[in-house]
Amino acid sequence: MKRIKKIVILGPESTGKSTLSEQLAQHYKTVWCNEFAREYLHKNGTNYKVEDLLLIANGQLALEETMLKNASSLLFIDTDLYVIKVWSEYVFGVCDFFILDQIVKKQYDGYLLCDIDLPWVKDELREYPDEKPRQELFGMYKDLLINQSTPWALISGSYEQRLQNAINVVDDWKMK
C-alpha cells in the first residue's frame, strides 16, 4: 500500500488556509481535509466553551482519517490539532491533555505556515480582526513549528504567489 504524505496548512484566521488547501488538492489531483471547527461552530453557534474544543479536536481527527481514505499520494489538511492547541491557550489559557497527547502521536510530513500578510476578511466565525492578535497568534504558530522536527515552510504573498510557493515546497518534499 502506497504511503500518503500529509501536509498541514496552518496559521491564524483569515490567512488563506482553506483556499490554499483546496488549490493544492486541485493541483495535485487529490482531496483535502477541511477545518472541522467551522462545521461545528456553524451547527452549534459561536458561543463555545473550552469543552467544545475537545469535541472539535476529535471531529478533526475523525475527518482526517476519513479523507485519508480518499486521497491519492497527498492529503492537504486545513488546520490540525496545533491550531486547536493555540486557539485553546489563546482564548482560555489552557489546553486539554488529550489534544497535547494527540499532537505528539500524529505524524505529518510537512507544515505550510500561512503568513498574516493577506488582509483580514470578515466572516461570522472569525474573531480577531486587529493586527496585534494576528501577530501574537502567528508568533505562537511559528514557535510551535520551530520547536518540532517536521519540515515546515512560511507561505507569504498574494493568493497566486502563495500557491506557487506552496507547490514549490511540496514538490521539494515529495522528492525526499
Please check the confidence at residue 119 and state whether its pLDDT lies above 80.
no
CA dihedral 157, 147, 127, 31 (to 10 degrees): 60
Burial class (CB in 10 A: 0-12, 13-18, 19+), 48: middle
pTM for this structure? 0.93
pLDDT value at position 31? 96
In the structure, what pLDDT confidence band is assigned to residue 3 with cuts at 50, 70 and 90? confident
Residue 38: which pLDDT band, with cuts at 50, 70 and 90? confident
Domain with 102 in it: what CATH number? 3.40.50.300
Express each pLDDT in 63-107 by its tens digit: 999 999 999 999 999 999 999 999 999 999 999 999 999 999 999
Domain count, the chain: 1
Structural domain including 17 reads 5-175
Q: What is the mean pLDDT of residues 13-27?
A: 94
Angstrom CA distances, 5 to 11, 34, 108, 176, stand at 20, 16, 7, 11
Task: Pick the more confident residue, 41 or 151.
Answer: 151
Question: Is 43 a residue whose pLDDT tops 70?
Answer: yes
C-alpha cell at 34: 477541511
